[in-house]
Amino acid sequence: MLNGQPAKPAGILSNRFVQLIVLSSVFLHTGIWVRNFAILMYVLEKTGQDAKAVSLISVAEYAPIFVFSLIGGTFADRWRPKRTMIWCDLLSATSVGAVLLAFLFASWKAIFFATLISAILSQFSQPSALKLFKQHVPPEQLQSGMAMFQTTMALFMIIGPMLGTFVYESFGIQTAIGVMTAAFLLSAGTLTFLPESEQTEKQKAGTSVWQELQEGLRYVWSRSVLRTMGGVYAAAGLGMGLLQPLGVFIVVERLGLPKDNLQWFLVTNGAAMLIGGVLVMGWAKSLSPQKLLAIGLLATGVSAVCIGLSTSLAFSLVMQFFNGLLFPCIHIGLNTLILKGTEEAYIGRVNGVLNPVFTGTMVVTMSLAGWLKNGFGLVPIYESAGLLFVVSMLLLIPLFKLKEGVTKQQETG
């Protein structure tokens, strides 16, 4: 829907809202990937590859999810989503500019400030984008729209590291900061062409932030669909946390190759995700979101088990491709289920409740993965991660009893 007119169901690409939001995400991902890799390499250079300093980057990226996700989601439900996203991009650009000034007059350590501020602002911007999707994309096109988003993300998983590395190594950190600033400003400029959204009734009623935050928690708990999704998020987060830090050990210990070969796994995964995102756009009309999600979770579980057992590079890369090909089903299925199963007024808060569940469980097992590997070995950890993804898939079973998976807005308890 754009300017009050429903988009033609014939094609998601003809929806002007989707065109603008995807273009904005291209600029935004450019800024984020240049930021991630330029800052990583700059910190490595400045600290002599100090692992503690590098770990602070991850802290700056993940900590805001715990602290600001629910708060950001609550304000996303109170504020106009278009205006919120524009201000977040503008403030991200401003924070990056402030870092450049800090370089000139203060300490290089101010570089962490840019990552922290951008991560905080994303907790306000992301749920606002979901609200806009709910408002301006017809229900039958939501899954295709999510697939386009996933395809954009996958594309930048391939070109993002190369882009960030090229900018930093060719032109230095100051130019990289300039690219970040320009990218965030271009994203904000693109968003200005989006349609206006109506002010929410809660804003007009003058309810407090604390009241709305409590309402959001009660809303999630009262919907069996959302409670189920919380369990799925938790199990998948535990599994992902085990896998994420141990990929390099698969290369070194199971395959007996130099650690540099990890890049082939990353490239294979990114390319497969790009192909998978395009394929899911074609499947969107024939598969329900809960089926897509179940396929993605099962594929991730099976690939984790196979990669953990494999001692063949070729077979491991095939399974990595298989995982990447169907991994977009998880992202697309999750977001579509949440959008279809949540009233527009609560989307920000639902996102703010569920995101920390996934991130929190992931960080827990991520922090324990090294000790668990040393205590039990690499193969049992990968098999356990695969089992957790299968468990998360089994938790979806109640959703198959619902018509269209989640479209009953009044479904409770």
pLDDT at 57 over 80: no
Query: For position 404, what pLDDT does the model report?
Result: 46
Of the two residues 344 and 187, the one the predictor is more confident about is 187
Residues 128 and 242 in one domain: no
Question: Cα dist. 311→140, 276, 306 in Å?
Answer: 44, 26, 10
174 is a domain residue: yes
For the CA atoms of 359, 361, 366, 371, the dihedral, rounded to the nearest 10 degrees, stands at 160
DSSP code, position 198: P
Of the two residues 2 and 304, the one the predictor is more confident about is 304
The CATH number of the domain holding residue 43 is 1.20.1250.20
- For 319-340, what is each residue's pLDDT tens digit? 999 999 998 889 888 888 888 8
409 is a domain residue: no
6 is a domain residue: no
- For 342-386, what is each residue's pLDDT tens digit? 888 888 899 888 888 888 888 888 878 888 888 898 999 999 999
Neighbours of 121 (CB within 10 A): 23
Query: For position 317, what pLDDT does the model report?
Result: 94
Residues 253 and 381 in one domain: yes
Residues 180 and 104 in one domain: yes
Count of structural domains within the chain: 2
pLDDT at 397 over 70: yes
10 is a domain residue: no
pLDDT at 207 over 90: no
Show the domain range for 220.
216-401
HEC string of 204-256 equals HHCCCHHHHHHHHHHHHHHCHHHHHHHHHHHHHHHHHHHHHHHHHHHHHHHCC
Residues 296 and 396 in one domain: yes
pLDDT-based confidence at residue 3 (cuts at 50, 70, 90)? very low
Mean per-residue pLDDT, 4-19 = 63
Residues 297 and 351 in one domain: yes
Residues 188 and 249 in one domain: no
pLDDT-based confidence at residue 103 (cuts at 50, 70, 90)? low
